[in-house]
Amino acid sequence: MTKTNRWTYGMGPFQVLSLLTGLSLVMRFFSFFPSVMDHDESTYIVIADAVRQGQVYLRDVIDTKPIGIFLLFGTFQSLLGKSIIAIRVMTALWVALTGWMLYLTHRELLKGTSTRVSDAGPLATGIIYVFTLSVFTTFGVSPNTELFFALFSATALFLVLRYSSPLLFMLSGFLLGLGFMIKYVVLFDALAIGFFFLWMQVVQGKKWGYWFLRCTLMAIAFLIPILCVWMYYRQLGMEEQFLFYTFEVSHQYFVKPPWTSYILFFLEGIGRIFPVTILFIYCSVHWSTTGLRLPLLAWGWTALVIFIIMLPGKTFPHYFIQLLLPFSLLAGSYFDPRRTPGPAFAWIRNPKIGYPLLGLGLLVNVVFQKTDYIDKADYPREIAAYLNERLAPDDIIYTANAPQIIYHLTSRNSPTPYVHPSLIWSDDNSQALGISQTEEWHKILAQSPRFIITKNNLSPSNLMKPAMDTSYQQVMAFGPKLLVFERK
């Protein structure tokens, strides 16, 4: 017989949402203002600009990611304008909402485990998620795909746990499909959710028809977004391009670094969330205190996410953001009052110690962010201001290996479909995409860009060097690295 829970409330769910929203906005406040957080965000913004102007993704503008992130950024721009600050604020709200969905999910996982359950664990889950993602620039502060698909994964999991309606299971699958169109690794979130749901049905003794119908509907709904995008490109006569960038490029991007690189990458990833990792391990060891459901979900989800993080061989720290979904759920359960940790850990849950430490961490974070994002010169914005005073309506610029956000700040289109410069100038990327660097450079030069912006002086062996020496002259330098050249 299922137990009925009586919740001991500190705050209601919508009060928790307000708390997480405030925490996210405060911790990220100074990150709203610089023009560049990282190159990926700049690419999303520039390609979203182009798509809103009617250009076709994978033909007129090209990147290696699915179309979803660019449509999402384009939606933000359509609703809020072109302001970079608006994108950053929306990201902060998005992170807060994801933390809230994890809070609600944690509550659902506790139902039936005790006749009297505290909200302390679920609240800690939400705070852990928001706080951890608001510290490191390359691990959550900068808007990246992992931040955005996480909301779809967390919401889908909540729906599966909370409701039994087949229609809502379809909605859950559809949300996971939308997340998949932001980044394909969401497939492993979907597998974790599906396996956990099946396990629950076995434990509860549900008939196979019950879970088979819901799993089938979820799978069908999951496929709807990708099939819609496939049909969109097919009617444009671009099915071959869609299949190439969806399947072949992803496979070609795999690398095989030394095994030591895998170990160092893994240690760096869990090291960035070290306090959360410790709590996760503690709650894994003492899993029986709160029952098996939450730990089992977290373990299975963690295993699948680590597999897909490590598989490509790429060592980008932001990949580990996906791991924070299951880590936050289990680590938050450390604050469940049913746990009785020993002296070595009990102090963490003491409000007289924990709250001041949390406040101190927040203050230190804000100070460091001000130093990193406000006190430093914003050279891309300065370059854009310099160019805007001189550009005629039809003038073209090319950012070469410099920040591509300058296109957005000057309202110019990229003269090459490959907005992210590394797609051309990184040998690994150009080979994976089948790009001829020489041919693409000549296509750019054929458009006679008036200004070309480069990072540092070009080496003598650089493919751009001969044309830059004969047809362009340096007119300005911004900081120690960024140079502006004008056509002679």
Tens of pLDDT, residue by residue over 362-414, are 888 888 899 989 999 999 999 999 999 999 999 999 999 999 999 999 999 99
pLDDT at 291: 86
Mean pLDDT, range 276-290, rounded to an integer: 91
Q: Do residues 172 and 108 touch, judged by C-beta distance below 8 A?
A: no
Segment 360-375, tens digit of pLDDT: 888 888 888 999 899 9
Mean pLDDT, range 202-225, rounded to an integer: 91
pLDDT at 118: 79
Q: Is the pLDDT score of 97 beyond 70?
A: yes
Alpha carbons 430 and 426: distance in angstroms, whole number: 6
DSSP string spanning 191-215?
HHHHHHHHHHHHHHT--HHHHHHHH
Mean pLDDT, range 435-455, rounded to an integer: 95
pLDDT at 231: 96
Which residue matches tokens 């051309």?
A: 424
- How big is the chain by its Cα radius of gyration, in Å? 24
Quick one: what percent of the chain has pLDDT higher than 90? 69
Which residues, other chains included, contact 479 with Cβ-Cβ below 8 Å and sequence gap of 6+?
Answer: 377, 379
Q: Is the pLDDT score of 28 beyond 50?
A: yes
Q: Is the pLDDT score of 296 beyond 50?
A: yes
Buried b (16+ CB within 10 A) or exposed e, 443-474: ebbeeebbbbbbeeebeeeeebeeebeeebee
Distance, C-alpha 74 to centroid of its chain = 16
- Report residue 279 as tokens: 């709590």
Mean pLDDT, range 25-35, rounded to an integer: 94
Q: Is the pLDDT score of 3 beyond 60?
A: no
The band of 203, judged by pLDDT with boundaries at 50, 70 and 90, is confident
pLDDT at 260: 87
- Residue 113 CA: distances (Å) to CA of 6, 122, 291: 11, 14, 7
Quick one: what percent of the chain has pLDDT higher than 70? 97
> Who wins on pLDDT, 369 or 9?
369
The band of 2, judged by pLDDT with boundaries at 50, 70 and 90, is very low
> Who wins on pLDDT, 347 or 437?
437
Segment 231-247, tens digit of pLDDT: 999 999 999 999 998 88
How many of the other CB atoms lie within 10 Å of CB of 121?
Answer: 27
Q: Do residues 266 and 311 touch, judged by C-beta distance below 8 A?
A: no
Segment 458-479, tens digit of pLDDT: 888 889 999 999 999 999 999 9
How many of the other CB atoms lie within 10 Å of CB of 350?
Answer: 11
pLDDT at 358: 81
Mean pLDDT, range 325-344, rounded to an integer: 89
How much is the pTM?
0.93
In this structure, of 19-33, 294-308, 351-365, 431-445, the range with the lowest mean pLDDT score is: 351-365
Helices marked H in 66-185 — which ranges? Answer: 68-80, 84-110, 120-132, 145-162, 166-180
Tell me the sheet residues that pair with 62. 418
pLDDT at 355: 78
Mean pLDDT, range 324-351, rounded to an integer: 86
| Average pLDDT taken over every residue of the chain | 91
- Report residue 312 as tokens: 């490509």
Q: Is the pLDDT score of 301 beyond 50?
A: yes
Coil vs helix vs strand at 262: helix
Q: Is the pLDDT score of 348 beyond 90?
A: no
Which residues, other chains included, contact 304 with Cβ-Cβ below 8 Å and sequence gap of 6+?
Answer: 188, 189, 191, 192
